[in-house]
Amino acid sequence: EAQVTQNPRYLITVTGKKLTVTCSQNMNHEYMSWYRQDPGLGLRQIYYSMNVEVTDKGDVPEGYKVSRKEKRNFPLILESPSPNQTSLYFCASSLAGPSFSEQYFGPGTRLTVT
Amino acid sequence: GQQLNQSPQSMFIQEGEDVSMNCTSSSIFNTWLWYKQDPGEGPVLLIALYKAGELTSNGRLTAQFGITRKDSFLNISASIPSDVGIYFCAGQRANAGGTSYGKLTFGQGTILTVHP
């Protein structure tokens, strides 16, 4: 089954404790992206990657890091989480090219930073 | 960063009614998309629009790419209870060479409630 998976689905952590949210897709997609969703703000793009070893900032990259060492994986790293990073996070992937806007989203990771 | 203005923020309608929502931007987009998000899940693509003026249907859903390339609307006809959810518009801009940026900008969402 074609899918985007994220782990963990739920995470409660404390300020300053480094964490990684994993994202994996099995569709051989070149493009992958991370978003955060907050009430009243819709989805905001954090980082995206056009292909392996190619990453770029979205609209809200501060406090986050990403890496793209393999095509299928695109982990999101919070080196020193803060309470304002409490949010619902989505990973997405798509083919590159004219239709790469048609992204497939993962199920989401709900992160709480206390 | 750039955001799209999506309206209305929420709608409460009776089953069978038609629904209309729209998105506007101060910037030109070369692609407009409409997504639906069910509770506890990620957004799912409903309709993608690639040309100014394009009108595309997907079952009871119809979406249009505005002529100015700064707006789009989504209509749902004869709503049913399973239409409940959050609807998002999203836009993608092109660079000077006409290649799409990797950045996708989303609207704030329209929460749709359908009463049986």
Q: Is the pLDDT of residue A99 over 70?
A: no
pLDDT in tens, B37-79: 998 889 999 999 989 999 999 999 999 999 999 999 999 999 9
List all residues 6 or more positions away from A92 whose beta carbon is below 8 Å from its beta carbon: A4, A32, A33, A34, A35, A103, A104, A105, A106, B42
Chain A hits for B109, CB-CB cut-off 8 Å, are: 42
Confidence of residue B105 (pLDDT cuts 50, 70, 90): confident
Q: Is B47 on the interface with A (CB under 8 A)?
A: no
Chain A hits for B1, CB-CB cut-off 8 Å, are: 44, 58-60
- Which chain B residue's Cα is nearest to A89? B42
Question: What's the gap between Cα A70 and its chain centre?
Answer: 15
Question: What's the gap between Cα A26 and its chain centre?
Answer: 16
Does B108 sit within 8 Å of A107, measured CB to CB?
Answer: no
Question: What φ, ψ does residue A92 adopt, rounded to 5°?
Answer: -145, 155
